[in-house]
Structure 1
Amino acid sequence: METFPYRRVEQVKAKVTIKDVARRAGCGIATASRVLNNSGPASADVRSRVQKAAQDLGFSFSALGRALQSSRSMTVGCLVPSLANPVFAEAVQGLQTVLAGTGYQLLIASSNYDGAADNDAIATLIAKEVDGLIVTMVAPEHSAALALARTRGIPVALMFHDPVAGLPSAHVDNGAAAREVARRFGDLGHRRTAFLALRFASSDRSRNRYAGFLAECRLRGLPDPVLIELTETEANTPERLAQTLAALPDLTAIFASNDFLAIAVQKAARLLGWRVPRDLSVVGFDGIEIGRLLDVPLATIETEPAAMGRQAALTLLDLLQGGAPVQLPPLPFTFRAGATLAPPRADRRDDDRVAPRPPSVLSLKTDLKQG
């Protein structure tokens, strides 16, 4: 890793903060943090100015830690729904990259998508006197524990959530991404589509994706997509999901609210004897790496979870240095074509015809046992 001059300074003045460096360099605090921590892009000119300002002022992140040690715990609390989901694990890695070298330690909690567990975890982190919070949770705008944190002056940054009033969030535009999926479906001739979701009522990300998908379908004069809300059992049991799909035999394309659900759809389709994408097109959301490794690589909206983590951490560092909450633009997304998206079969594209109902899951199981 490149070593900058400011790291070689032995005598520092505790009163110097990163805000002083940013002011002298003529840039924002988040930009100065990225340069000094070597954790994000910056132009050569800005990088040079920040490094010179830090050297002139005798600033280092370790000096920041010593300056604040007496009045702060130098810990940051992080709450995510699950670390088993690689999307959230990558985001945590991203924020750890930024916090490394700042003197802050990360305390991590997970809630398994449970609102009560969210509040309990945040209450515990508050009790441990964290200096700031970075969270992804069920409903930040309605969380009593999060409201308590804000009342106590604890800075909060969100990840993955669309912006919430007063809480800056590192996110992608879920509605815009979902519109892109609807455009892809429409351009290929799909009319009978569905949106598949788990925890729809408690996930603002899922609801906003559906809203964007629905809006673009209506804009194109397409029928409203079917909203399929799965239970945990249905999502985790291919046979149960196959039963759900079997009840909707005229569907030609499904947009799943995350990649794991999209992969589950492919499994359920195989149980019904459907081939993806010949009989059913499937698109996911997130762009997890395993989707590339499938026999039929998954078409999906690809995001950058690590970048979300880095942006959330930089935002929180800015808040910890006294900056005002500023909502940054959404992070970019891309559509990864994969191989699970194709035009619908002719006999499924004609509005006046309905494809034959596939065999039931029960008959499939019987056939397998007899075979």
Structure 2
Amino acid sequence: MESRLKVTIKDVAREAGCGIATASRVLNNSGPASAEVRERVETAARDLGFSFSAIGRALQGGRSMTIGCLVPSLANPVFAEAVQGVQDALSGSGYQLLIASSNYDGDADNEAIATLAAKEVDGLIVTMVAPERSATLKQARRRGLPVSLMFHDPIDGFLTAHVDNFQAAREVARRFADLGHRHTAFLSLRFSSSDRSRNRYAGFHAECRARDLPDPALIELGEAEANTPELLAEILASLGELTAIFASNDFLAIAVQKAARLMGKSVPHDLSVIGFDGIEIGRLLDAPLATIETAPNAIGRQAAQTLLEMMQGKACMQRPPLPFDFRAGATLARPRTESCDDDQGATWPPSVHSLKTDLKQG
């Protein structure tokens, strides 16, 4: 069998009728060249099937040409879409993506960052439990590793691609209030370890206060309650006059609908539900989910673009939050009974409602 000859940059330069240094500048986009020379070099490279060795380019420039990307989960379509956005933004840049997930575990976050840094990645794109408290992430930055965050609200010392969770949650409260809901709750799976959830509750709470409504109940679930409709139904039943729930993500909002059916309640006539993220499956339900719709792909693209600029030595500033929309769906309606004159009762709302221990013992 005839052996295949390797095409070198010397061959490209000869074909283009220029020097090797000129061909290298054009193909590396690392220096000036006339439009006519650039076209000759690019045509010669394309005709000869020339491509730079990624290993050689990395060794020459002291770079690995890889970027580490850490997300909590790839099973959640929100993060999967964001990773796709990162990949789209890196297309044509020469960088390859190394992906890690932590299952929402802070220790796993730190281990993943340490592993990616040990692989000499040129930068990090990160969504994690608590970047502001991660010693491993701060150590990587001290070593000069550029870091771009996704989904996190702005944190001192880090640039992030995000939506304004606080303002988005205020919009949810406005939707509930305009329909006459007074007894509301915020449902979260990882409230204590998620800055996104905490900021969503803060915005929801602030708008309820601004409208002289009772403070929303804060319901922090464990994994068992979130994944077991019977347990979730028991928690919701204990809240009495609750007529509306804001779930911190769409998966929880879908779980609430199942739990409501087990309670014999109708969504939205007995219980209105709004989620957050706008995942596509929410549109496909018998009662399409009302939710705050974000653009995870755009978040990933922006995070990657910011990182590329940082790695190029450009001065980067925090960009404004990306837009969100409210998707009306079919899980939001006026409460069946709007007479809520018993707000003087001292039992509403619980400031934090968690039945994890009671349920496990019972």
Bin the TM-score by the shorter chain: 0.7 to 0.9
Q: Distance in 1 between matches of 2:107 and 2:175?
A: 38
Counterpart in the other structure of 1:293: 284
Counterpart in the other structure of 2:351: none
What does 1:1-371 align with in structure 2 at a 5 Å threshold? 11-13=23-25, 69-70=59-60, 71-346=62-337, 349-352=339-342
| Distance of aligned partners of 1:254 and 1:349 in 2 relative to their CA distance in 1, 3 Å threshold | farther
Q: Distance in 1 between matches of 2:53 and 2:243?
A: 57
Secondary structure of the structure 2 residue equivalent to 1:13? helix
Q: Deviations over 1:316-361 (max 9, x none)?
A: 0001101233211100000000000001112x5432499xxxxxxx
Secondary structure of the structure 1 residue equivalent to 2:25? coil
Counterpart in the other structure of 2:9: none
Deviation at 1:101, TM superposition (A): 1.5
Letter in 2 for 1:225: P
Counterpart in the other structure of 2:5: none
- Tell whether the 8 Å contact from 2:64 to 2:121 is kept in structure 1 after alignment: yes
- Tell whether the 8 Å contact from 1:113 to 1:137 is kept in structure 2 after alignment: yes
Q: Which runs of 4+ in 1 moved over 3 A?
A: 14-18, 62-69
Counterpart in the other structure of 1:5: none
- Tell whether the 8 Å contact from 1:17 to 1:64 is kept in structure 2 after alignment: no
Q: Distance in 2 between matches of 1:108 and 1:340?
A: 35
- Tell whether the 8 Å contact from 1:166 to 1:325 is kept in structure 2 after alignment: no
Letter in 2 for 1:203: S
| Distance of aligned partners of 1:69 and 1:328 in 2 relative to their CA distance in 1, 3 Å threshold | farther
Q: Distance in 2 between matches of 1:287 and 1:140?
A: 25
| Distance of aligned partners of 1:15 and 1:141 in 2 relative to their CA distance in 1, 3 Å threshold | farther
Deviation at 1:68, TM superposition (A): 5.1
Letter in 2 for 1:304: A
Q: Distance in 2 between matches of 1:199 and 1:221?
A: 28
Q: TM-score, normalised by structure 2?
A: 0.81
| Distance of aligned partners of 1:227 and 1:333 in 2 relative to their CA distance in 1, 3 Å threshold | same
Deviation at 1:98, TM superposition (A): 1.1
- Tell whether the 8 Å contact from 1:157 to 1:315 is kept in structure 2 after alignment: yes
Deviation at 1:148, TM superposition (A): 1.0
- Tell whether the 8 Å contact from 2:267 to 2:331 is kept in structure 1 after alignment: yes
Secondary structure of the structure 1 residue equivalent to 2:174? helix
Q: Distance in 1 between matches of 2:319 and 2:274?
A: 28
Q: How many residues align?
A: 315
- Tell whether the 8 Å contact from 2:70 to 2:126 is kept in structure 1 after alignment: yes
Q: Distance in 1 between matches of 2:278 and 2:263?
A: 26
Q: Which is worse superposed, 117-126 or 96-105? A: 96-105
The RMSD of aligned alpha carbons is 2.8
Secondary structure of the structure 2 residue equivalent to 1:194? strand
| Distance of aligned partners of 1:220 and 1:105 in 2 relative to their CA distance in 1, 3 Å threshold | same
Q: Distance in 2 between matches of 1:302 and 1:117?
A: 29
Q: Distance in 1 between matches of 2:194 and 2:333?
A: 29
Deviation at 1:165, TM superposition (A): 1.2
Q: Distance in 1 between matches of 2:339 and 2:115?
A: 54
Structure 2, unmatched stretches of 5+, are 1-11, 17-22, 46-50, 345-362
Letter in 2 for 1:258: N
Secondary structure of the structure 2 residue equivalent to 1:310? helix
Q: Distance in 2 between matches of 1:63 and 1:313?
A: 23
Structure 1, unmatched stretches of 5+, are 1-7, 22-51, 355-371
Q: Distance in 2 between matches of 1:186 and 1:309?
A: 33
Deviation at 1:188, TM superposition (A): 0.6
Q: Distance in 2 between matches of 1:294 and 1:185?
A: 21
Letter in 1 for 2:238: A
- Tell whether the 8 Å contact from 2:86 to 2:297 is kept in structure 1 after alignment: yes
